[in-house]
Amino acid sequence: MQVDLRTPWWIGAVRIPTRLVLAPMAGVSVQAFRRQGRRFGAGLVCSEMVSCAGIEHRNERTLGYLRVGSDEHPLAIQIFGSEPATMAEAARMVEAAGADIVDINFGCPVKKVTKTGAGATLLEDPARAVGIVRAVAEAVDIPVSVKMRRGLENGSRACLDIGPRLEEAGAASLTLHPRSARQMYTGDADHTLTAELVERVEVPVVASGDVTSRARAQAVLATTGAAAVMVGRGAQGNPWALREILGEDGAGPSREEVAAELVLFVRETVRELGERRASSFLKKFYGWYLGRGRFPRPFKQELVQLATTEDVELRLLAAAPGAAELLERLEAELPTGDEILLDMPISIYGGG
């Protein structure tokens, strides 16, 4: 049976207009990425994870303001840490920043995070994990969601034991990426675990992992009973994948469409991060956008070596002259409105 991913669902009192969630990804999920995801049909977008210790001590290099734009809602801001009181205070701050949902990271497998007792480590410390969720849920009026892996080790079923306890502590939704922390991103996501989790809890479950096409999304939803699917790496430099998953447009983009979207992404990222940071940050995106046979392989290397983002724009528009008209139309359609700016350190660690 086909599931209509364009139907709404709810996390607590927050209405999510489609059953497609854009994953929180460190070093990727800047505002430009989230806004693009919303334009292409993601019902919920998520920030990259934010360090609660950095918020508390103000001792991390501030990488920029966390911006919440009017066109991002509904938006989840993801936090990570290991102390309930610190997490609760961070949750209050992200609620003040305009988030619709506060998401807690119990999934990050990166050693810099797990060695502090945060991320996926908390799946093996259920009492602390429950304490964190309870403290956060009591601190804010917006819904609390939790993103987790199956556990630390291959074959772990920790997520199934802890899931109902997190729900009882106040989680309004759970996202499961059914790989172990040890697996990182290798092997296959075992969505039989997702199906088991759905059976054990009453709150909506989001299925994450290996959702790269409409057929795969439909298969995961049909076999697990999950409320929605989460797309991560498949959307990097490829927002058209979101439309394909929703069933709106199965055709790939033209070269002009790719160039126009990339130039817009470059401009929005420069606006957010500034030229110096954006110039370095964007380099990985060139390969993501220009791959899949869209442009000759040497073209990506040419862009990476250019000195400024303005040079990149000029080269892209020269390579696809028809992109200029599309770009003008895209920029005209961007909503204008006030942003809420929250001065907080953004994590440079890897996401889960």
CA distance 283 to 12: 38
The amino acid present at 30, given as its one-letter code, is V
Average pLDDT over residues 254-278: 95
Kindly state the percentage of the chain with pLDDT values over 70: 91
pLDDT surpasses 60 at 123 = yes
Contact criterion met (CB below 8 Å) for 306 and 282: no
Q: How far apart are CA 68 and CA 86, in angstroms?
A: 22
Residue 68 tokens, joined: 């919440």
Does the structure show a pLDDT above 90 at 68? no
Closest CA to 95 of 60, 148, 50: 50
State the average pLDDT over residues 51-66: 53
Phi, psi of 273, deg, nearest 5 = -105, -15
- Rounded to two decimals, what is the model's pTM? 0.92
pLDDT at 54: 64
CB 287 within 8 Å of CB 300? yes
Mean of the pLDDT values across residues 37-50? 94
- Average pLDDT on 57-61 reads 46
Residues with active-site annotation: 108
Choose the weakest-confidence range: 8-22, 34-48, 102-116. 102-116
Mean pLDDT, residues 290-306 taken together: 93
Reply yes or no on whether the pLDDT at 342 is more than 60: no
- Other CB atoms within a 10 A radius of the CB of residue 192 amount to 11
pLDDT of res. 245: 96
Burial of 73 (0-12, 13-18, 19+ CB in 10 A): middle
Element (H, E) at 261: helix 255-273
- Round the average pLDDT of the chain to a whole number and report it: 90
Decide if pLDDT at 345 tops 70. Answer: no
- Is residue 79 helix, strand or coil? strand
What integer pLDDT is reported at residue 115 of this predicted model? 85
Instruction: Give the DSSP H or E segment for 278.
Output: helix 275-281
Residue 248 vs residue 23, higher pLDDT: 23
Instruction: Inform me whether the pLDDT recorded for 294 exceeds 80.
Output: yes
Q: What is the pLDDT of residue 42?
A: 98
Written as one letter, the residue type at 220 is V
3 state SS of 124: helix
If one counts every other C-beta atom within 10 angstroms of the C-beta of residue 23, the result is 28
Q: Which one-letter amino acid corresponds to residue 191?
A: H
pLDDT at 349: 39
What percentage of the chain has pLDDT greater than the value 90? 74
